């Protein structure tokens, strides 16, 4: 870990402005991801801006009938909120499928969205990794890639995004609210928030450097059966091999987003249209451009079977 300076920001605007002044600055929220990465010198910020003092820890109704979730709402509190459990069950379930109780007590909404990949080569600084060190190559290609992406990957990076929460947020069409370092606020639909790796896998979102997330808003509840199914090698405390967030209406229509398969939560509108026709039809379109590795090709069959189970559960 490199030494760094530290400050506690008092307002979102102050935090963003401070990030603008100090180019090597990072926000720190729960610290459950950032600190681990700093210890391994995968992240090497020169300055930390602690955002825990910003009053962004509330869940409030919006005028549109949705919910506005403060960036600092802890994963535990979000999962337990009665409104979330009633109207956005897929989100509550996704949160509870992630990490462990202790971690969820610390993890925040914004931190969870911005957690970094679990590619093992990203974590080992002796190995080449374009995401950690642009231009150094990708050790996962041709290496241990069982966990990696099957769709939307590039020649530069085949990592997945590990968040469960983000998959549910994607299915719910959430919006990310931010303050830019130069002052103005903006909203980013979650569909436009994450980027595919392309040639720049180190740039993971459409946030500007130093842009602060203040909240995530959920639109008006859409009802339906809300299911989150996470498939993994052990029963808890493991990242998804494949996960499915589904909202299924009585008539069989609905939405579905997948985790564990791509550099971002994977949702394809054309695939969703096939939901009444069953899992195979949906999977065909979800993975029309899939390019799995030898080690992770099983994820295609797994995703289709999991989708099938989820759709059956929604019917039953």
Partner 1 sequence: MRFETPATINPIDQLKVVGKPADRIDGPLKTTGTARYAYEHHEGMPSPAYGYVIGSAIAKGRITGIDLTAAKSAPGVRAIVTADNAGKLGKGDRNTAKLLGGPDIEHYHQAIALVVADTFEQARAAAELVRVDYVRTDGAFDLAAVKDIAKPRAVFGGPADTAVGDFADAFAAAPVQLDASYTTPDQAHAMMEPHASIATWNGDKLTLWTSNQMIAWGVGEVAKTLDIPKENVRLISPFIGGGFGSKLFVRSDALLAALGARATGRPVKVALPRPFVFNNTTHRPATIQRIRIGATRDGKIAAIGHEEWSGNLPGGRPEGAVSQTRLLYAGANRMTATRLAELNLPEGNAMRAPGEASGMMALEIAVDEMAERLGMDPIEFRIINDTQVDPEKPERPFSQRRLTECLRTGAERFGWNKRNPQPGRVRDGRWLVGMGVAAAFRNNLLTKSAARVRLDNNGVVTVETDMTDIGTGSYTIIAQTAAEMMGVPMEKVVVRLGDSNFPVSSGSGGQWGGNNSTAGVYAACVKLREAVAQKLGFNSAEAEFADGEVRLGNRRVPLAQAAGDGGLRAEDGIEYGDIDKKYQQSTFGAHFVEVGVDAATAEIRVRRMLAVCAAGRILNPKTARSQVIGAMTMGVGAALMEELVVDERAGFFVNHDLAGYEVPVHADIPHQDAIFLDETDPMSSPMKAKGVAELGICGVAAAVANAAYNATGIRVRDYPITLDKLLEEMPDVG
Ligand X SMILES: Cc1cc2nc3c(=O)[nH]c(=O)nc-3n(C[C@H](O)[C@H](O)[C@H](O)COP(=O)(O)OP(=O)(O)OC[C@H]3O[C@@H](n4cnc5c(N)ncnc54)[C@H](O)[C@@H]3O)c2cc1C
Which residues of the chain form contacts with ligand X (CB under 6 A)? 26-34, 51, 71, 98-99, 103, 106-108, 110-112, 114-115, 162-165, 212-213, 239
Task: Say which entry of partner 1, ligand SF4, ligand X, none residue 110 contacts (CB below 5 to 8 A, set by partner kind).
Answer: ligand X
Residue 284 makes contact with partner 1 by CB under 8 A: no
Residue 235 makes contact with partner 1 by CB under 8 A: yes
Distances from the Cα of 208 to the Cαs of 178, 180, 186, 203, in angstroms?
10, 7, 11, 10
Of residues 124 through 163, those in contact with partner 1 by CB under 8 A are 124, 126-127, 139, 142-144, 146
Least distance between ligand X and beta carbon 17 (Å): 14
Give the interface with ligand SF4 as residue ranges (CB under 6 A).
Answer: 117, 119, 121-122, 129-131, 138-140, 157-159, 201
State the greatest distance between any 2 C-alpha atoms of the chain, in Å, as a whole number. 57
SS (H, E, C) 171-215: HCCCEEEEECCCCCEEEEEHHHCECCCCCCCCCCECCCCCCEEEE
Residue 8 makes contact with partner 1 by CB under 8 A: no
Which of left, alpha, beta for 5 (phi over 0: left; psi -120 to 50: alpha)?
Answer: beta
Residue 294 makes contact with partner 1 by CB under 8 A: no
Least distance between ligand SF4 and beta carbon 152 (Å): 12
Query: Looking at beta carbons only, is 51 or 139 nearer to ligand SF4?
Result: 139
DSSP states along 121-133 = TTT-TTS-BTTTS
Q: Exactly one of 133, 202, 232, 285 binds partner 1 (CB under 8 A); which one?
A: 232
* 146, two tokens: 């069982």
Partners of 59 in the β-ladder:
69
Residue 123 makes contact with partner 1 by CB under 8 A: yes
Query: Looking at beta carbons only, is 21 or 280 nearer to partner 1?
Result: 280
Residue 121 makes contact with partner 1 by CB under 8 A: yes
């Amino acid at each position: 870990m490199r030494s760094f300076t530290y400050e506690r920001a008092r307002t979102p605007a102050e935090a963003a402005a401070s990030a603008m002044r100090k180019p090597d600055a990072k926000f720190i929220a729960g610290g459950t991801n950032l600190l681990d990465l700093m210890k391994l010198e995968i992240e090497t910020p020169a300055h930390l801006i602690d955002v825990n003092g910003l009053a962004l820890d509330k869940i409030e109704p919006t005028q549109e009938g949705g919910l506005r979730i403060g960036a600092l709402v802890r994963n535990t509190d979000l999962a337990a909120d009665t409104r979330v459990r009633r109207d956005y069950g897929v989100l509550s379930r996704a949160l509870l499928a992630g990490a462990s109780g202790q971690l969820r007590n610390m993890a925040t909404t914004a931190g969870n969205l911005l957690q970094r990949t679990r590619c093992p080569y990203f974590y080992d600084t002796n190995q080449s990794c374009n995401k950690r060190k642009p231009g150094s190559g990708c050790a996962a290609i041709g290496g241990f890639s069982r966990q990696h992406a099957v769709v939307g990957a590039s020649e530069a990076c085949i990592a997945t995004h590990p968040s469960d929460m983000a998959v549910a947020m994607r299915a719910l069409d959430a919006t990310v609210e931010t303050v830019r370092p130069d002052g103005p606020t903006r909203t980013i639909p979650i569909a436009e928030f994450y980027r595919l790796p392309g040639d720049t896998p180190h740039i993971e979102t459409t946030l500007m450097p130093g842009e602060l997330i203040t909240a995530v808003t959920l639109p008006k509840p859409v009802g339906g059966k809300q299911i989150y199914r996470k498939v993994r090698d052990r029963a808890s405390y493991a990242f998804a091999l494949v996960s499915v967030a589904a909202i299924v209406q009585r008539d069989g229509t609905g939405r579905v987003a997948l985790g564990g398969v791509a550099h971002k939560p994977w949702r394809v509108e054309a695939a969703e249209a096939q939901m009444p026709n069953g899992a195979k039809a949906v999977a065909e379109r979800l993975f029309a451009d899939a390019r799995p590795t030898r080690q992770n090709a099983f994820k295609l069959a797994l995703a289709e079977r999991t989708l099938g189970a989820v759709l059956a559960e929604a019917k039953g």
